[in-house]
Amino acid sequence: MIQVRAMLFIVLICQCFWVSAEPIYLQLRWHHQFQFAGYYAALEKGYYKDAGLDVIIHEGTPEKKPVQEVLQGHAQYGEANSELLLERLRGAPLVALAAIYQHSPSVLIARKDAGISSPDGLVGKKIMLLNQTVDADFVAMFNNEGIDINRLHIIPSSYEIRDLIDGKADAFNSYLSNEPYFLKQQGIEFTVLNPRNYGVDFYSDILFTTEDELKQHPERVKAFRQASLEGWYYAMDHPQEIIDLLLNKYKVNKSRDHLNFEADAIRSLIIPDVIDLGHMNPWRWRHMAETFIKAGMVENDKFLQNFSYDPDPKADKEKLLKYIRIAVTITLLTGISTLTLLASYRALKRKNKKASRNEKLLRLAHETAGIGYYAIDLATGLWKSSPLLDQIFGIDANFDRVIPNWATLIHPEHRQRVLDHYQDVIRNHERFSMEYVITHPNDDETRWVIAHGYIEYDKADNPVQLVGTIQDITERKQAEETITCLNEKLKKKVHRQTNELTASNLSLMRKIEELRRSKHQLMEREAKLNSIFNASVEGIITIDMFNIIISANAAVDPIFGYKPEELIGCSINKLMQSSPRETICCSLLHAAQPVSQIQEIDGIHKNGSLVSLDLSTAEYSIDNEHYFTHIVRDVSSRKQREQKDKKHLNELAHVTRLGLMGEMASGIAHEVNQPLSAISSYTQVSLNLINIEPPDLARLTEILDKTQQQALRAGRIIHRMREFVKSHAQKRSVADVNNLIHECAGLCVGELKQNNIKLTFELKNNLPPVHVDQIQIEQVIINLIRNSVDALKNLPEKQQRQLTISSRLTLNNDIQVKVKDNGAGIDEDQKQKILTPFYTTKADGMGMGLSITRSLVEAHEGTLNFNSKAGKGTTFYFTLPTEKI
């Protein structure tokens, strides 16, 4: 230990000459506390300053995560838990400099009365965690125990242990050095779930930086790491001094008793008396990475290489080889030398004459095997030792060799166990062999030793002397640790490969099952399609590229009069005058896509008659062979209905012309009156000219010619009116207004669809009948619908176009019909003129539509009115008296 610190000191002195004094920022994981004692010591004792570093320490908060702060450039160095490795495996350019804690303090704490004694007990319970990245230890623990994390009720940590006490959480993410103190102070019994007990033993509080910092400032990285470790050595040796510093300078919100509790807990996790501070085992990093992979948190460990910083990689390789060589040598020599030692010692007692020679041989054997020996006089409590044993224990000739001082050489963690074992040996009269750790009294360096020996008894069976050997096995222990790591790695690899093979087999079995299900589904789908094919009311005919029918469904019988089997193998021209393919654009003939246009064609019935058909065609390919499927529908009844509707519309048009002529008659009366007035005037002038003596024949001829022209003009006007309208008498009958509305809407459905207008009915049921000329009232409704269509089709395409027709019974026992649209509306000027003859807002309108509509309504003792608001739409409504029964 002295040599290590001396080397650190020398390196730090040297680095003062080349390390820049620019500010260096260190980001901690949490608020100031003993958890970060080494960094405060390095700062306060000047280790950073001696290394030429101006270090500023930033405490952590829930918002300031060290990994993110360092990656974002807010700090050059940070201190993190196992999330550091997790982010590295995900590709973050992070480098671990030193693992301060050899074991993680992260645990889950549950109240004793919650009955949670293992991770299985957490299923369905409320668990406070930071997140699955920061609390990677727990995620790995859940995976090792086969617990689906989705079955856990994980809630974000409040960082307040009070939430566990008050029952807001069943388990709380905690540090062994912190939360247990609060619970013990309040007398609350609790259970600790430590990931170490479930195969997850991770490093913690890892000093780290980025690849860029290491590349740009390698000497600064080395100096910062060494100064930080020196601070940690000091903090471990002087915990009370650091506690004073935290209370007085950093003003931590913890009591001295709490800080002492924290210091003790942290020391057991760092193990500074056994393991060099900052020690990182590459096999342990790999084990942590494999744990993350197994838990599904990362895919592989390809980014693990160069993650662990090594200030002297060459020395480590040579040290590892040395450990292996020593382990092999010690393994061979230990058994031989021990047997030789014991045999020689017994021979020494039996053969006093050869004592001198045997002692030399024994000492030589011990020194060759690296074994020191001792003898303790149990009566006096004094003991003697060989020089090699003194060297192993790190003592000199001045060391006071009494039994109490022997006990002080044993490490505190092993002392009681060793002393108890000696008592058992004395009590049971047996030889002993045990391994334990010793501590050098001068520099606190720790070493592993193996002890062999036995107790000598007097004739009264009283123990008088303890004789034994001590061998330094530190390097063997280190080699064993290395071998154990390698074996564990091999075991994990075999286990992983076994799991992968098992998973592969399961995946194959699942695929086979999926294929079986797919085959079954395909058969079901085929059966359904065949059922639909044969049940369809539309004829479905499939032909090949040569127009030969290869399949047909049962619906072709009522359409064409042929059974499906009669058509197989025949040409499609048997059913249609020409192949439908000839009417399809050539560019689609070889495109494997549906032809969605519906054609109207004439089919040929078996009896020779023509059948009106709607035809749609789809093309597809199977094994590079093209096929066409024709779907035909008999629309003969629809054609007949269209002819009937056309006749109905012609009748409505006639009513319109009749109404128009009625209005035009009053509107153009002045045109007819003008020639008649002119004829009357010209006749009077002619009579006057005849009575003049002598008559002015030339003037008379001129006047008569003008009279003739005016008479012809009046005749032409009357002739045009007679041609426009024929005489039809008004025929009134009892009708249902709602039926008339539906009839009119059906006649206009084409215009509504063409202009993307949504039609809504709001018709009251059980309305009384009306006595009307149905053709005229239908014309009124159609005129109002078409006016709304004209208003709506000018709206933007993206705006919803709505037309609503409603009917109701008024308080006057009249029936009111409303036609409402959401068009642009009518402005104030147009409202005054909209119902007057010859006024129109359309570019090609005559201005007679609404005027005729009003006349038709008024002819039925009703009224026509409207409401409109610019930009909000227009509502026209009229009333009709009900039939008196």
Over pLDDT 90: what percentage of the chain? 32
What pLDDT sits at residue 37? Answer: 96
Q: Where are the alpha helices (DSSP H) in 725-848?
A: 737-747, 749-754, 774-792, 828-833
Distance, C-alpha 500 to centroid of its chain: 27
Please state, in angstroms and rounded to a whole number, the distance separating the CA atoms of residues 443 and 1. Answer: 6
Taking alpha carbons only, the member of 836, 858, 831 closest to residue 846 is 836
**369: confidence class by pLDDT, cuts 50, 70, 90:** low
Peptide bond into 881 cis (omega under 30): no
- Mean pLDDT over all residues of the chain? 82
Burial 233-260 (b: 16+ CB within 10 A, else e): bbbbeebebbbebbeeeeebebeeebbb
3-state DSSP percent of the chain in helix, strand and coil, to 5? 50, 20, 30
Going by their DSSP bridges, the two strands 126-129 and 153-156 should be labelled as: parallel
Question: Nearest to residue 492, comparing CAs of 291, 298, 297?
Answer: 291
**285 pLDDT band (50/70/90 cuts)?**
very high
Contacts of 142 (CB under 8 A, 6+ apart): 119, 149, 152, 295
Mean pLDDT of 407-423: 89
Angle (CA) 737-642-632 rounded to 5° is 130
Question: What pLDDT does residue 431 have?
Answer: 86
pLDDT-derived band of residue 721, with 50, 70 and 90 as boundaries? low
pLDDT tens per residue, range 297-318: 899 999 999 999 988 766 555 5
Provide the CA 121 distance to its chain's centre, in angstroms: 28
453-479 pLDDT tens trace = 988 888 888 888 988 999 888 888 887
Please report which confidence band the pLDDT of residue 587 belongs to, taking 50, 70 and 90 as the band edges.
very low
Q: Are 190 and 176 in contact (CB under 8 A)?
A: no
- pLDDT of 869 higher than 50: yes
Q: Above 60 in pLDDT, residue 365?
A: no
| Residue 718 binned pLDDT confidence (cut-offs 50, 70, 90) | low
Please state the rounded mean pLDDT for residues 729-741.
84
- Average pLDDT score over residue span 561-588: 73
Q: Please report the pLDDT score of residue 659 as a whole number.
A: 59
CA distance 627 to 540: 13
From start to end of 35-125, where are the E strands?
54-58, 77-80, 94-101, 106-111
Residue-level pLDDT at 7 = 39
Average pLDDT over residues 613-635: 85
Count CA atoms within 13 Å of residue 358 on its CB side: 16
Question: Quick one: pLDDT at residue 591?
Answer: 39
Q: What is d(CA 762, CA 821) in angstroms, rounded to the nearest whole number?
A: 13
CA 869, CA 449: separation in Å to the nearest integer? 103
Secondary structure, 3-state, 237-266? HCHHHHHHHHHHCCCCCCCHHHHHHHHHHH
**800 burial level (CB within 10 Å; 0-12, 13-18, 19+):** exposed
Closest listed residue to residue 36, CA positions, set 177, 160, 218 = 177
Provide the pLDDT for residue 581: 58
The string of DSSP codes covering 846-877 is -S-HHHHHHHHHHHTT--EEEEEETTTEEEEE
Secondary structure of 683-752 as H, E, C letters = HHHHHHHHCCCCCCHHHHHHHHHHHHHHHHHHHHHHHHHHHHCCCCCCCCEEECHHHHHHHHHHHCHHHH
The answer to whether 78 touches 35, Cβ cutoff 8 Å, is no
Average pLDDT over residues 324-352: 52
Element (H, E) at 383: strand 383-385
Q: Does the pLDDT value for residue 349 go beyond 70?
A: no
- Looking at residue 426, its pLDDT comes to 82
- What local confidence, expressed as pLDDT, does residue 528 receive? 74
Q: What is the pLDDT of residue 10?
A: 35
pLDDT computed for residue 621 by the predictor:
86
DSSP state of 840: -
β-bridge mates for residue 869, sequence order: 873
Q: Which residues contact 406 (CB under 8 A, 6 or more apart)?
A: 376, 383
Check residue 664 and give its pLDDT.
57
Residue 447 is given by DSSP the state E
- Find the range with the poorest average confidence among 79-93, 111-125, 221-235: 111-125
The mean-pLDDT minimum among 22-36, 152-166, 253-267, 344-358 falls in 344-358
Look at 700 and 227; give whichever has higher pLDDT: 227
Whether pLDDT at 167 is above 60: yes
- Render pLDDT for 241-280 as a digit per residue (tens, 0 to 9): 999 999 999 999 999 999 999 999 999 999 888 788 999 9
3-class DSSP assignment, residue 396: coil
Task: Say whether pLDDT at 132 is over 90.
Answer: no
The helix/strand/coil state of 496 is: helix
Residues facing residue 594 across a β-bridge: 618
Average pLDDT over residues 412-437: 87
Residues comprising the chain, all counted: 885
What integer pLDDT is reported at residue 677 of this predicted model?
Answer: 72
Digit-coded pLDDT (tens) for 749-773: 878 888 899 999 999 999 999 999 8
